[in-house]
Structures are given as C-alpha cells and as structure tokens.
Structure 1
Amino acid sequence: MENRTLASRIRFARTDRRMTLDALADASGVSRAALSRIERGEASPTATLLARIAAGLGTSVASLFSEGEQSRDAGHAAPPPSSALSRAADQPSWQDPQSGYVRRNVSPAAAKGAAEIVDVTFPPGERVVFDNALGWHGVAQQVWVLDGTIEMTVGTETSRLFVGDCLFMRLDWPVAFHNPGETPARYAVVLSRLPA
C-alpha cells in the first residue's frame, strides 16, 4: 500500500469520527505534528505508531488497511461493503519502515466487525513492541506461526513459537514480537472481539 493511500485512510477515519488532529493526538499519544506529517503522506508511521493511532481512533490497525476506510479522494471507488471475497492480488499490504515487517490484510470487507486476519512476514533479528495502553480492552488476537520462529512477549511472559504453534492473548498487555532466527518468519494474526 502506498504511503499516500494509508495517509488518506487515516485522515478519513479521523474526520469521519469528527476528531480534530489535537483530539487524535490526545487520544493516541502521537504528537499533532507527527500526525499531520503522516496524514499528508510526508512520513510513514512505524508499526508502533500505527497501533497507537488506530487505538486513538477506536479501531484496529487492520481496519485502516481495509477498503471500508477508503477515503473519498483516494482516486478509486471502494468495493461494496458486502464484498465476501478477498482476492490475494487485491489484499492491501504495508511495510513497517522501522523493522521491515510486511503485513497483508487477508479478510474481505464483509468480515468487518468479525474476526480480522492478517498475514505477516517478519525479517530475521527484528523486534516490534506494542504497548497496547490505549483502549484495546475487549480485543484478543491469536498468532499462528506458518514459517520460521517468533518469540512473543505478552506482559512479562515470553513464549517461543515454532511452525504450527498458536498463541492466544488479550490485547490489554504490552506485546513484543521478535524473530530470533536467521530467516524470515511468517505468521497469521487473527483479531477478534471478546464477548462482553
């Protein structure tokens, strides 16, 4: 996904919620100046910043990549919200400028509000930390390793996951992803809402 497209979707999500840049800065903990540069497409947010922005908007990172958050000015029409098929060639992907990890939204538009699936390729030796301090309560994720090894730290507990392993976690603790191997790791993330 191009930086301009992501910028447009973040701006659309903010204005659709009638939030000012200052309000989003307060809700996300990301400075107004940084948000302004991100929304203008002058800076690409890191994975950590993107998670904070999504939490400040009261949504998931995956939803910022879905066609449902498509801006009116992005240059093409969004598919109908009832679209039940997500072709691999049409699934938006994004690369974290800091760690180099690549995330691809797999879920079709019709799945919005249900479980969301993300396919991640994580470079060797890299680490990403999400503090999850901004309103992810009520959201859980499962990480299912498809290739390589991922070391997950949830709160103070660390688990090393190998191919086929799956870890469930609530997103109300800090979470760190680390690839301790010498080859890229690939895993699926399934996000879902917990029952009230």
Structure 2
Amino acid sequence: MAHDVNQMIGDKLKAIRTERKLSLDELSKITQVSKAMLGQIERGTSSPTISTLWKIATGLGISFSSFVEEDTPKFSKVKIDEVNPLLEDEGRYLVHTLFPTEPKRNFEVYAVTMEPGCKYTSPAHINGVEEYLFLHEGEMTVEIEGSVHHLKAGEAFRFSADYEHTYKNSSADPCNLFLIVHYS
C-alpha cells in the first residue's frame, strides 16, 4: 500500500503542475526541491519526506494534505493503524493523515507518533496557518522562534506556523498527539 500512497502523491503533484502549466524546472525553482526529486515523486518512484512535501506545498501555496486527499463521502471512519504513515527523522517521526483538507474544509487532521529521541523541524508554512496540538500520551517540547514550550499528556497547544518550529521528544517513551493544521 505504501507504493499506492507514493503514486497518489506523484499523480497529484503532476496534475497540479500540469494544470498550472509549470515545467519541472519552474516547479523546482518555486519549491526549492531538485528537478530530479520532483520527477521521481511524480513517477511514484520516490517516497518523499514530510519536509520535502511541505516545501512543495508551501511553494505551490496549497495544503500539505492536498497530495493525499481523496473523494470524501458524507462520513468516514479511520483506524490509525490502517493508515500508512509518512516518516521523518529516520522513522522516529510518524504522521498518519486522518482527514485531509477538502474544498469546503480548510483544516487537516493527523495522528503523530514521536519515538524517543525524535526531533523534527518544520519550515515556516504559508501565511495564516495555525497548528493545534493535543498531546494524549507522553511528553514533548515545541520550539518556535527561540521560545520553548514543554507539553505533557492531557495538554493542548496552539501556535502560528508562520515560523520554523521544532518538535522534540527527549523522553525515554514515545509520545502520541493529534495535530490539526488550519489554513486561513
């Protein structure tokens, strides 16, 4: 199924690029992702990192989940363990897309697992993006512009994602959270 996700991401990227009449060179310039990598993603032969997808989404001015959204029914039920995660930080940062954005909904919902020792730095997102974290297991810190915020299970945190931000799990146990990304 992981190949299916890569192919879905590639097909979406190619459709957006074609719709906007962009060459791979032009797309590379606006996303700061190499032409070779973009070609591999479009062909579904590369499993892009979360950071790479954020660069592409930011460069194109689209939501991160645009790459994996599907036609949605009036209701949906998702089992986290049945969703193939996107991985970062050598597999210690796992992101399960639960509900991607839709035309009438300007937010997306993720389940995130951060293994012990995980450190993930996200680039600044497009203007007006907010992130909402709901930590339900473990501990973590969020660093934004030199400001450090320690979170424990049962706590929630909201911030403007217009700035580079870093998530860290310095504990010996995994931490699990739900993340909502809201686009203005």
CA RMSD of aligned residues (A): 2.3
CA distance in 2, matches of 1:169, 1:86: 28
The residue number in structure 1 matching 2:179 is: 189
The residue number in structure 1 matching 2:38 is: 35
The residue number in structure 2 matching 1:104 is: 96
| CA offsets 1:63-119 (integer angstroms, 9 cap, x no match) | 22211xxxxxxxxxxx3x5x2322214975432154312222222665753322111
- Could you say if the C-alpha distance between residues 110 and 48 of structure 1 is closer, same or farther in structure 2, counting changes exceeding 3 Å? closer
CA distance in 1, matches of 2:10, 2:64: 13
Given that residues 133 and 177 in structure 2 are in contact (C-alpha distance below 8 angstroms), is that contact kept between their aligned partners in structure 1? yes
Partner residue of 1:176 out of 143, 166, 176: 166
The residue number in structure 2 matching 1:66 is: 69
Partner residue of 1:119 out of 111, 116, 124: 111
Matching residue's letter, 2:122: F
CA distance in 2, matches of 1:108, 1:39: 20
CA distance in 2, matches of 1:108, 1:174: 22
Q: TM-score, normalised by structure 1?
A: 0.80
- Could you tell me which runs of 5 or more consecutive residues in structure 1 were left unpaired when the two chains were aligned: 68-78
- Could you say if the C-alpha distance between residues 181 and 10 of structure 1 is closer, same or farther in structure 2, counting changes exceeding 3 Å? farther
Matching residue's letter, 1:34: M
Given that residues 121 and 184 in structure 1 are in contact (C-alpha distance below 8 angstroms), is that contact kept between their aligned partners in structure 2? yes
The residue number in structure 1 matching 2:153 is: 163
CA distance in 2, matches of 1:16, 1:146: 40
* 106-115 or 36-45, larger mean C-alpha shift: 106-115
CA distance in 1, matches of 2:108, 2:16: 18
The residue number in structure 2 matching 1:75 is: none
Matching residue's letter, 1:19: L
CA distance in 2, matches of 1:5, 1:131: 23
- Could you say if the C-alpha distance between residues 184 and 10 of structure 1 is closer, same or farther in structure 2, counting changes exceeding 3 Å? farther
- Could you tell me which runs of 5 or more consecutive residues in structure 2 were left unpaired when the two chains were aligned: none
Q: TM-score, normalised by structure 2?
A: 0.84
Give 1:30 deviation, angstroms.
0.9
Matching residue's letter, 2:145: G
Give 1:9 deviation, angstroms.
2.6
Given that residues 85 and 108 in structure 1 are in contact (C-alpha distance below 8 angstroms), is that contact kept between their aligned partners in structure 2? no
- Off by >6 Å, runs of 4+ in structure 1: none
Give 1:20 deviation, angstroms.
2.2
Please state which structure has a larger fraction of its residues in strand.
Answer: 2
